[in-house]
Amino acid sequence: MRRRDADTPVNAAAAPEGAEGPPPVALTIDALGRKCPIPIIMLAQRINDVPMNATVAVLADDPAAFTDVPAWCRLKSHHHVGSYELPQGGWAIHVRRNY
Protein backbone atom coordinates (compact mmCIF):
# COMPACT_ATOMS: atom_id res chain seq x y z
CA MET A 1 0.00 0.00 0.00
CA ARG A 2 1.34 3.39 -0.95
CA ARG A 3 1.76 5.60 2.05
CA ARG A 4 4.18 8.22 0.84
CA ASP A 5 2.44 10.71 -1.39
CA ALA A 6 4.34 13.34 -3.29
CA ASP A 7 3.17 16.03 -0.91
CA THR A 8 4.21 14.26 2.28
CA PRO A 9 6.53 16.57 4.24
CA VAL A 10 10.04 15.25 3.91
CA ASN A 11 12.18 15.64 6.99
CA ALA A 12 11.03 19.24 7.32
CA ALA A 13 13.06 19.78 10.47
CA ALA A 14 16.28 19.32 8.55
CA ALA A 15 15.61 22.17 6.15
CA PRO A 16 16.97 25.42 7.57
CA GLU A 17 14.26 28.03 7.80
CA GLY A 18 14.19 30.54 5.01
CA ALA A 19 16.78 28.61 3.03
CA GLU A 20 16.26 28.52 -0.73
CA GLY A 21 17.15 24.85 -1.06
CA PRO A 22 19.29 22.15 0.42
CA PRO A 23 22.70 23.16 1.78
CA PRO A 24 25.82 22.75 -0.41
CA VAL A 25 27.47 19.36 -0.69
CA ALA A 26 30.97 18.08 -1.45
CA LEU A 27 29.79 15.41 -3.89
CA THR A 28 26.61 14.61 -5.76
CA ILE A 29 25.86 11.04 -6.81
CA ASP A 30 23.28 10.83 -9.57
CA ALA A 31 21.30 7.63 -9.03
CA LEU A 32 18.15 8.90 -10.73
CA GLY A 33 16.43 6.10 -12.59
CA ARG A 34 18.46 3.47 -10.74
CA LYS A 35 16.70 0.82 -8.68
CA CYS A 36 17.69 -0.15 -5.15
CA PRO A 37 20.15 -1.36 -4.10
CA ILE A 38 22.16 0.48 -6.80
CA PRO A 39 21.86 3.96 -5.20
CA ILE A 40 23.21 2.56 -1.92
CA ILE A 41 25.97 0.66 -3.65
CA MET A 42 27.01 3.91 -5.39
CA LEU A 43 26.94 5.75 -2.07
CA ALA A 44 28.98 3.09 -0.29
CA GLN A 45 31.57 3.08 -3.05
CA ARG A 46 32.03 6.86 -3.08
CA ILE A 47 31.49 8.18 0.44
CA ASN A 48 35.20 7.97 1.16
CA ASP A 49 35.91 10.30 -1.76
CA VAL A 50 34.83 13.26 0.36
CA PRO A 51 36.65 14.57 3.46
CA MET A 52 35.52 13.68 6.97
CA ASN A 53 32.34 15.55 8.00
CA ALA A 54 31.62 16.55 4.40
CA THR A 55 28.23 15.85 2.88
CA VAL A 56 27.30 13.66 -0.07
CA ALA A 57 24.01 14.11 -1.89
CA VAL A 58 22.43 11.02 -3.43
CA LEU A 59 19.90 11.90 -6.11
CA ALA A 60 17.42 9.04 -6.35
CA ASP A 61 13.85 8.46 -7.44
CA ASP A 62 13.36 4.81 -6.50
CA PRO A 63 10.97 5.05 -3.53
CA ALA A 64 13.02 2.37 -1.76
CA ALA A 65 15.99 4.75 -1.63
CA PHE A 66 13.99 7.14 0.53
CA THR A 67 13.93 4.53 3.32
CA ASP A 68 17.10 2.66 2.46
CA VAL A 69 19.66 5.50 2.40
CA PRO A 70 18.78 6.60 5.96
CA ALA A 71 18.75 2.92 7.03
CA TRP A 72 22.21 2.50 5.46
CA CYS A 73 23.42 5.55 7.43
CA ARG A 74 22.14 4.00 10.65
CA LEU A 75 23.78 0.63 9.92
CA LYS A 76 27.09 2.17 8.81
CA SER A 77 27.20 4.93 11.46
CA HIS A 78 27.09 7.80 9.01
CA HIS A 79 24.67 10.70 9.45
CA HIS A 80 21.50 11.22 7.44
CA VAL A 81 21.29 15.01 7.24
CA GLY A 82 17.98 15.27 5.44
CA SER A 83 16.04 14.39 2.30
CA TYR A 84 14.94 17.16 -0.03
CA GLU A 85 12.38 16.77 -2.76
CA LEU A 86 13.60 17.38 -6.29
CA PRO A 87 11.44 19.41 -8.67
CA GLN A 88 11.58 16.63 -11.28
CA GLY A 89 10.59 13.95 -8.71
CA GLY A 90 12.74 11.96 -6.34
CA TRP A 91 14.96 13.30 -3.61
CA ALA A 92 18.38 14.67 -2.85
CA ILE A 93 19.31 12.57 0.16
CA HIS A 94 22.13 14.17 2.12
CA VAL A 95 24.59 12.02 4.04
CA ARG A 96 27.46 13.28 6.20
CA ARG A 97 30.58 11.16 6.32
CA ASN A 98 31.29 10.38 9.98
CA TYR A 99 34.54 8.39 9.81
Residues making contact with other proteins (CB under 8 A): 1-4, 35-38, 40-41, 44-45, 62-64, 67-68, 70-72, 75
36 is catalytic: yes
CB of 75 to other proteins, least distance (A): 6
Catalytic residue among 10, 14, 32, 36: 36
* Nearest residue (CB) to other proteins, 23 versus 64: 64
Residue 17 phi/psi, 5-degree rounding, is: -65, 140
13-37 burial, b at 16+ Cβ within 10 Å, e below that, comes to eebeeeeeebeebebebebbebebe
Give, for 94, the enclosing helix (H) or strand (E). strand 91-96
* Nearest residue (CB) to other proteins, 16 versus 46: 46
Task: Give the residue numbers annotated as catalytic, written as ranges.
Answer: 36
